[in-house]
Each structure stands twice: as C-alpha cells, then as structure tokens.
C-alpha cells in the first residue's frame, strides 16, 4: 500500500463533490446549523496504519439538504489530517438532530507522520480532541430558497471537541478484548516508531520545501458574476480556485475561472433553458497573491488584488472548447440534453498575462521529462475562499499516478484545489482540474505553448 504524506481519508456527506460556484453564505443560516463530533472509534490497526472512525451529529433549525461538506484545518490531537469528501445525500429536518451511526473512517499512515505521539496519546488515554472548520454547502427548501434568494449557500461551522471518548473494538461488552486491542495497538506504535523516524524526516522536508518553493507562485483566484431570473432579481455567485505563476508575467488558471457557468450543469441548464440569464457585465476575476490581506472591513480587499475589470491582467490564450452533452430531467419526467464543458480536458486551461509592473514572479519549473508512472506522495494546494483574513494556501499531500496525458489523484479533492500545481519531488507534474485528476504538465505546456513563451 502506498504511503501517503499527512494523508487521511474522511468520508463526508455530499451530493456533488465539487460545486464550482456557490452564492455567498447567509449569516443567519450559519447561526442555525450545528455539527459535532460525538465519538471516535478505533476501527483498525496494523504495523503500517491506524483507522479511526468519527461519529458526526448535525442539527439545523431549517429544512436543508446537505450537498457537500469540506473539512479544512482538521486536527486530531493536534495532528494535521486531510479530509476528502464523497457522494451521499443528507436530508436535515428542522429541530431534529441527525446522528450518523456509521463512523466516518480516517486512515492515518504511520510512515507519513512527523511524530506518532498524538496517536499514542489517544490510544493510551482513551480520548481524542478534534478541531477544524466544516464548510457545508447546502440546498435549502423551496420556501427557504425564496427567503434567501438562493438554492445553495455555504455555511462555515467551527469544530472543537475536547476529551472525546475513544472506543476500542468490542466496546464495554468485551472489556478484556478491548484492553488487549489497546495494548496491541500501543505496542505496534512503539515498535513502529523507530522505523518511522527515517521516513518522517524526508516527509517533513518534502512538505516544508514544497510550501517554501511553490507558495510564492500561487494566487487565490475568485471569479464573481450575477445570474438574473425573470423578475429581474439577481443572485451573486462566486468561484474559487488557484492561479499558478509560470513566468514573471504569466499565470495559468483553469478555463473554468474565465467561464464558470459553462462548467456547472445546474447553471448551464438554467441558462440554456432561459430560467436564468447571465449578467455578462457583472463578471470579474480577482487574484490575490499568497499571504496577501484578503479582507478589509468585512469586504474583499481591492488594494491587494489584481482585477481583470481594471485591466491589470488579460487572457492571452485558451485552447479550443471541449463540450459534452448530458441529460437533464425535467419536472414533467422528460429529459433534454444540455451542453457542459469538460473539466477533465486539456481545454480546461487558460493563460493570463499580468500587464504592467503589478507583480513579478520567478518562473516555475515543470517536470517535463519525468518518466515516473506513479508517486507515493505529491503536494497540492488550496485556498478556502473568503473565510480567512489572508490568502493563506493549505498544503495537501496524497499519492498519484500517470494516466496518459492526465494525472490521477489518490484521494478526492474539492473545487478550491482546481488550478493547483501537482508537485512531485522532481517538480510540477500537472494541474488539478476536477475532484480526482488533473492534466499532465507536459500536456498543459503543449496546448498553451508555454515552451514558445
């Protein structure tokens, strides 16, 4: 089994893995949702990994349908972990607490840890602590949608749980068996800790070097636009992703950042069926360098961003379109075809040029001649939109493998990683485009003619 740097698989509740654009969060709705981790369970252990299960409870004061939950900054006993979403519908009813009886597994690979102490402490004490932020995208009920003027909203829920019980397999009914399992797991960790030491030094160095080398090349990309209904009311929509500097004056972004409404099936269907219309004059693309102040007086900071509408940069190249037809189900039961542009395509790329002396980057190095077919650990980056005061990138590590002119990711990701470089020890090997893959760097360089620039 491939080792995975700081890797954890957290199965989350979702209907769509990565809705690319969502309206701004409603503050009142945020105060009416609550999520808690109520229990942790030791599901599995071996000399190479440990699997813990998290039991979640979710409460809402409104009828809601959960479409996606993304955990950011997840820490278990202080140990940073990555959480990957997965598809499943979750219906919440007003005033009712929904307890997820099946624990959600978090798999920790020992080789990738800087230290085994947090896990050893959890096993020794029988308790864990969990911290993080749950970004929950929900589809509200028709009545609530009328009040909020939005079918989708994103809600940020802070998670902080102290002294959660750690249930050992067998539970209190077979106490002796549980104690044996606890002792065996603790012994396995102690035995493994010496073997981990050699690998963890490389793991720590790879993460540290990747953040130091590539974070200065990153920018938070935010596309903003309005959709209008037949009554003339408008919905503000935003798309978040990553822009990568490939030269002192060039940036690479997904084409989705330029036309996000053409990549989302719901929006494309609404526009093509004329239920909604795009206010094309409302579109703008804002770019913030990593670590730049993002918010000012609870609004986006215009002083630290580059804006397309201000002609601080321009679109200089996009490959030919690659559309696909999908079937949409009407209320009458009939189906119709709609056109949606493909994310997992070499066409989902765009090259921007910074005009003037606004910003100068060093040239990023792509691993053009990499012959590797798979990697135990690659690094990705994501920004969590306007939730933070500064544009701080979060580092994610997972395995990956080559699949033709694409890079298949070993874990699922959310839309905030779209546009991120896929970094292997030899350099950038690809660009993330959807929830489970990206285009290989050599293919991106070919279609955007980066070698000629």
The pLDDT tens digits for 304-313 are 999 999 999 9
Provide the pLDDT for residue 327: 59
Between 204 and 406, where is the model more confident?
406
The pLDDT of 313-324, averaged and rounded, is: 86
Q: What percentage of the chain has pLDDT greater than the value 90?
A: 26
Q: What angle do CA 112, 133, 203 make, to 5 degrees?
A: 15
CA distance 65 to 71: 18
The pLDDT of 402-426, averaged and rounded, is: 92
Q: What angle do CA 268, 273, 274 make, to 5 degrees?
A: 100
The pLDDT of 19-45, averaged and rounded, is: 68
Burial (0-12, 13-18, 19+ Cβ within 10 Å), 125: exposed
CA distance 378 to 316: 29
Q: Which residues contact 255 (CB under 8 A, 6 or more apart)?
A: 263, 318, 319, 341, 347, 348, 349, 350
pTM over 0.85: no
Residue whose entry in the numeric block shows the structure tokens 């012994």 = 187
Tell me: pLDDT of 220 over 70: yes
Provide the pLDDT for residue 29: 63
Provide the pLDDT for residue 358: 57
C-alpha distances out from residue 115 to 51, 78, 94, 195, Å: 16, 11, 43, 12
> Which of 61-75, 167-181, 306-320 is predicted least confidently?
167-181
Specify whether the CB–CB gap between 186 and 256 falls below 8 A: no
Q: Tokens standing for 199?
A: 């690998």
List the domain boundaries for the chain. Answer: 21-167, 215-452
Between 329 and 447, where is the model more confident?
447
CATH class of the region 21-167: mainly beta
How would residue 144 be classed by pLDDT, with cut points 50, 70 and 90?
very low
Specify whether the CB–CB gap between 52 and 108 falls below 8 A: yes
Specify whether the CB–CB gap between 68 and 18 falls below 8 A: yes
Angle at which helices 117-125 and 175-214 pack, to 10 degrees? 160
Specify whether the CB–CB gap between 453 and 446 falls below 8 A: no
Fold for domain 215-452? Thrombin, subunit H (2.40.10)
Provide the pLDDT for residue 66: 82
Provide the pLDDT for residue 326: 65
Specify whether the CB–CB gap between 435 and 428 falls below 8 A: no
């Amino acid at each position: 089994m491939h080792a995975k740097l700081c890797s954890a698989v957290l199965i989350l509740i979702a209907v769509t893995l990565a809705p690319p654009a969502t309206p701004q969060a409603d503050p009142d709705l945020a105060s009416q949702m609550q999520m808690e981790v109520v229990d942790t369970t030791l599901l599995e252990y071996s000399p190479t990994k440990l699997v813990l299960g998290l039991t979640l409870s979710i409460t809402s004061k409104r009828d809601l349908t959960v479409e996606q939950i993304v955990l950011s900054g997840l820490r278990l006993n202080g140990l940073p972990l990555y959480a990957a979403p997965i598809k499943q519908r979750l219906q919440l009813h007003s005033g009712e607490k929904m307890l997820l009886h099946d624990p959600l597994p978090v798999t920790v690979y020992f080789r990738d840890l800087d230290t085994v102490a947090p896990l050893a402490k959890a096993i020794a004490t029988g308790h864990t602590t969990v911290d993080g932020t749950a970004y929950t995208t929900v589809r509200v009920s028709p009545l609530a949608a009328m009040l909020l003027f939005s079918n989708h909203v994103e809600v940020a829920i802070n998670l902080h749980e102290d002294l959660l019980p750690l249930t050992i397999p067998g539970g209190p009914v077979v106490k002796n068996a549980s104690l044996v399992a606890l002792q065996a797991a603790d012994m396995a960790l102690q035995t493994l800790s010496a073997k981990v030491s050699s690998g963890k030094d490389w793991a720590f160095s790879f993460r540290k070097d990747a953040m130091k080398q590539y974070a200065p090349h990153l920018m938070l990309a935010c596309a903003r636009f309005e959709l209008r209904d037949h009554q003339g009311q408008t919905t503000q929509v935003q798309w978040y992703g990553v822009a990568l500097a490939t030269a002192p004056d060039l940036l690479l972004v997904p084409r989705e950042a330029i036309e996000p409404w053409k990549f989302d099936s719901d929006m494309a269907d609404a526009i093509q069926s004329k239920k909604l219309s795009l206010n094309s004059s409302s579109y703008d693309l804002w770019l913030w360098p990593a670590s730049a102040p993002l918010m000012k007086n609870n609004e986006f900071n215009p002083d630290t961003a580059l804006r397309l509408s201000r002609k601080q940069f321009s679109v200089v190249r996009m490959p030919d379109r690659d559309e696909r037809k999908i079937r949409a189900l009407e209320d009458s039961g009939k189906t119709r075809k709609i056109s949606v542009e493909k994310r997992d395509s070499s066409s989902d790329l765009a090259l921007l040029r910074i005009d003037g002396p606004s910003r100068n980057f060093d040239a990023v190095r792509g691993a053009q001649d990499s012959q590797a077919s798979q990697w135990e650990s690659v690094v990705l980056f994501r920004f969590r939109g306007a939730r933070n005061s500064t544009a701080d990138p979060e580092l994610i590590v997972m395995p990956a493998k080559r699949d033709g002119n694409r890079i298949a990711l070993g874990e699922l990701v959310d839309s905030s990683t779209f546009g991120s470089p896929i970094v292997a020890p030899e350099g950038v090997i690809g660009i993330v485009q959807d929830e489970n893959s990206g285009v290989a760097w050599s293919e991106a360089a070919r279609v955007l003619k980066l070698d000629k620039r």
